[in-house]
Amino acid sequence: MPLDRSESPVQAGASEGPKPLPINRLRRVADLSALAFTSTAELEPIDGFPGQERALDAVRFGSSINKPGFNLFVIGSTAARMQRSVETMLQSAAADRAVPPDWIYVNNFVDPHKPVAIRLPAGRAPHFRAAIHDLIEDLKAALPGAFASEDYQTRRGAIDEAFHKKQADAFTELREKAEKKGLILVRMPLGFALAPAQRGEVVAPEEFHKWDEAKRREVEESIQSLEMELEHVVRQLPSWEKAHRDETRKLNRDTANLAVGQSIDEAKTGFADLPEIAAHLEMVRADLVENVGMFVTKAEGEESPAIDASPGGPFDRYEVNVLVTQEGRARAVPIIEELHPTLGNLTGRVEYLSLQGALVTNFRLIKAGAIHRANGGYLLLDARNLLLEPFSWTALKRILKRGEIVIEDVNRFLGLTSTVTLEPDPIPLDLKIVLFGDRLIYYLLFAYDPELIEHFKVLADFEDEFDRTSESEVVLARLVASVARDDALRPLDREAVSLVIEHAARLADHSGKLTLLIDQIRDLIVEADFRAAEASRPEVSRQDVQGALDEQVRRASRLRDRSREAILQDVAFIDTAGLRVGQINGLSVIELGGFCFGRPTRITCRVRPGSGHVIDIEREAKLGGPLHSKGVLILSGFLAGRYATDTPMSLYASLVFEQSYGSVEGDSASSAELYALLSALAEVPLRQDIAVTGSVNQHGEIQAIGGVNEKIEGFFDICRARGLTGTQGVAIPKANVQHLMLRQDVIDACAEGRFAIYPIATSDDGIALLTGRPAGEHTIDQAYCEDTINGMVERRLRGFANIRQRFGEMGSPASAPPISQNDVP
């Protein structure tokens, strides 16, 4: 509603001060005249997300553009239902994207610690895994069976027999030669020896020595000759054994090839269109044939000779690890939300098994992360959760930079393990990441991490509110209808909807705006529905909504009530009537756990001659924040600019928030501090029945502040508790009038003339209201009129200057002349 200029406040400078605001400016009621309905059951629920065109356009752009770096960063309040709206948009964008492929990991037979990644068309990975599994199951029976077959055993036996026959023939020939020469081949414990023999027995040494020389020499020569042959035979044994082994190995390979070949070829026919799969199956074939020894020993019922250090059985090396598959997915293109983005959950991990005291792993223990599962689609992450997890943010950036997914082992980062690990093939990245966070996180990241903008170029900033028009009120009414439908609540009647709309403006802290924090609206409606249910009403009424609002406040207001109690019991001094020099009721707002309430605070000021300092005691005590200190320092500028243009500023003033023992921040009380200062200088009392809020600049203009509704209501509650006098009220910046959405009881009191809200545009307006005297204007000689506030202040400050000057000339207080009447105002 536009400002009605006929109702504007009284011009500054008049002794009466500004006039109170009319009632219709204190709260803007809902206007649903354009929409005919009795309850939300008659309203068409709204689809889409009204008021978020800027953000939704950004999401639309970010989700469609297919270039590196154009990931989305969505900021706003969580209550604005950012994620739901983004997900809805992504679902429609996903319809235009191709279905992502499946990915598997298989054993790298050449380098087992570098598993091979193979891409398959969507949905085919489980089939390949099943095919390999069937193949292996077949081979588990076929391979041992092949080596247990009569055919194999016969061939193997023939090879052994041939080998042994070769040995036997060589020794037989040697023995026959020895017999012919009267010698015998003797088997020794560790070898062979040749000796003279008679009747098949070794000749005894004493017998031998009885032989003649010639015969002994002949025997010796024969033995030497045959020893050469014996040595030749024995030296040939290793080469015969090698040949035996080679033949056996060839037989094993040929047998394995026959046993494996048909199964492999059958498996290949199912994946003939995938060259990588065919190549892998050939490697499986080659590895099976090469390592058939494992199955041969098992077939012969013996234990495997070597301890297998890898987890699983011998056939596990041929299995398939399906990392990601699109089979069975509800959506063709994945939209994955990772709620716990640890490094492992995000980028995948390699798991280990403890085997005989050591940690071992293989390609089957590679687990997919959220990035794998979302690859080809969208990954939704909460920025705060991501940043809270060690290594996750940097790992994510590395992956985005590389353009491929690499599994990183956090234990190796930390040096906790030095066990053998895996380096799986990286998988190409085709992913759109959507980060959700509040504005603070985004802007901090932007300031401190230069890589942010490199990877998240699209900002989607969700509004917290939108303009309030009759059309937008209708939209909100339909949103209420949507919420009621979605949560299966009772329909809200027309008056209830109106109150919800007005509350939406209150939540937006502006009578001309409506909040878009739908979750907060939802919470209110849910509670109102509960109250309607308790009262057995078929529809939610205005009474239910108001009751819900009151209960929300009541639940959170324990500390507010204790604070109020302290004031009412005069533990905290707050006057709500009378006049005091250098004292005023300022207003502050306290926010605790999402609940805000206003609280009056006494501000006092003392002045004396000095060197021109306005002392902020809060700042001196290190209880004042920088914004508060800035506000106080502005007062010095104001004073100097108005009253000390031709006179040195010779003021010492001290300002304090009485009985405030916590930190104070913000400059919303600077106008109150100014009024207290002017009152102290002019020695004119201020009204204690009017509380003041507003920031002041160096020109004396009163600037807007926050929490105006809470501040007004905070002072009102104190005054009402003590009994409204009919003169009490609150002076607010004129710029804050548009933010007013006061409680009905405040409005009722104002309507009855028992309370008032005064819009203040300048400090002159304010001081006139609070003192009942005109502020004063410059006369022709640039001085203020003496009976105005400005004139009194000016005269006092000149007096301070004179005092200071005199002390300066004299050098010490003792030699200073007495203060004359002309010095003291």
Residues assigned a catalytic role? 668, 711
| Shortest reach from residue 141's CB to other proteins, in Å | 15
Q: At what angle do helices 626-643 and 789-810 cross, to 10 degrees?
A: 90
Residue with Cβ nearer other proteins (22 or 157): 157
- Of 175 and 367, nearer to other proteins (C-beta) is 175
User: What six digits make up the tokens of 720?
Assistant: 């009402």
**Closest separation between CB of residue 181 and other proteins, Å?**
14
Q: Quick one: which of 67, 235, 555, 622 contacts other proteins (CB under 8 A)?
A: 235
Element (H, E) at 656: strand 651-657
Q: How far apart are CA 698 and CA 138, in angstroms?
A: 91
d(CA 425, CA 413): 19
**For residue 550, what are its two tokens?**
């009151």
Q: How far is the CB of 259 from other proteins (least distance, A)?
A: 15
- With binding defined as CB under 8 A, does residue 450 bind other proteins? no
CA atoms of 147 and 142, how far apart (whole Å): 9
Q: How far apart are CA 3 and CA 9, in angstroms?
A: 11
> CB-based contacts of 552: which residues, under 8 Å, 6+ apart?
524, 527
Phi–psi pair at 204, nearest 5 degrees: -70, 145
- With respect to other proteins, which residue has the nearer C-beta, 248 or 310? 248
Q: What phi and psi, each to the nearest 5 degrees, are found at residue 251?
A: -60, -45
Site string for other proteins, 123-152 (x = CB under 8 A): -------------------------x-xx-
Q: Tell me: does residue 120 bind other proteins (CB under 8 A).
A: no
Distance CA 363, CA 280 (A): 15
- Segment interacting with other proteins, rule: CB under 8 A, options 223-231, 312-320, 449-457, 732-740: 223-231
By beta-carbon proximity to other proteins, the closer residue of 300 and 561 is 300
Query: Cα(619)–Cα(607) distance, rounded to whole angstroms?
Result: 17
Question: By CB under 8 A, is residue 36 in contact with other proteins?
Answer: no
Which pair of structure tokens corresponds to residue 612? 């021109």
Residue 630, classed as helix, strand or coil, is helix
Nearer residue to other proteins within complex by CB, 245 or 340 = 245
Using CB under 8 A as the binding criterion, the count of chain residues that bind other proteins stands at: 53
Shortest CB 274 distance to other proteins, Å: 37
Give yes or no for residue 236 binding other proteins (CB under 8 A): no
Answer yes or no: are the C-beta atoms of 194 and 226 closer than 8 Å.
Answer: yes
Contacts of 547 (CB under 8 A, 6+ apart): 528, 531
Binding mask 392-431 for other proteins (x = CB under 8 A): ----------------------------------------
* Candidate ranges 226-234, 369-377, 517-525, 556-564; the one touching other proteins (CB under 8 A): 226-234
Backbone angles phi, psi at 785, to 5 degrees: -60, 140
Question: C-beta of 313: minimal distance to other proteins in Å?
Answer: 21
Cβ-based neighbour number of residue 643 at 10 Å: 21
- State the nearest-atom distance from the C-beta of 298 to other proteins, in Å: 12
756 makes contact with other proteins (CB under 8 A): no
Least Cβ distance, residue 196 to other proteins (angstroms): 7
Give the β-pairing of 579-581 and 685-687: antiparallel
Cα(360)–Cα(351) distance, integer angstroms: 9
Q: Is 241 in the site for other proteins (CB under 8 A)?
A: no
| Binding characters for other proteins, 286-325, by CB under 8 A (x = yes) | --------------xx------------------------
CA–CA gap between residue 679 and residue 665 (Å, rounded): 23
- Under rule CB under 8 A, which residues in 153-212 are in contact with other proteins? 153-162, 164-168, 170-172, 174-175, 185-196, 200-206, 208
Which one, 165 or 613, has the nearer CB to other proteins?
A: 165
243 scored as a contact of other proteins (CB under 8 A): no
Of residues 161 and 308, the one with the C-beta less far from other proteins: 161
Strand pairing category for 353-355 and 358-360: antiparallel
Beta strands 102-106; 465-467: pairing state? unpaired
259 is an interface residue for other proteins by CB under 8 A: no
Structure tokens at 512: 């001309």
**Which residues does residue 759 pair with via DSSP β-bridges, in sequence order?**
732
Query: Should residue 748 be labelled a site residue for other proteins when binding is judged by CB under 8 A?
Result: no
1 binds other proteins (CB under 8 A): no
Residue 266 beta carbon to other proteins: minimum distance, rounded to whole angstroms = 24
Which spans of this chain sit near other proteins (rule: CB under 8 A)? 148, 150-151, 153-162, 164-168, 170-172, 174-175, 185-196, 200-206, 208, 220, 223-224, 227, 230-231, 234-235, 300-301
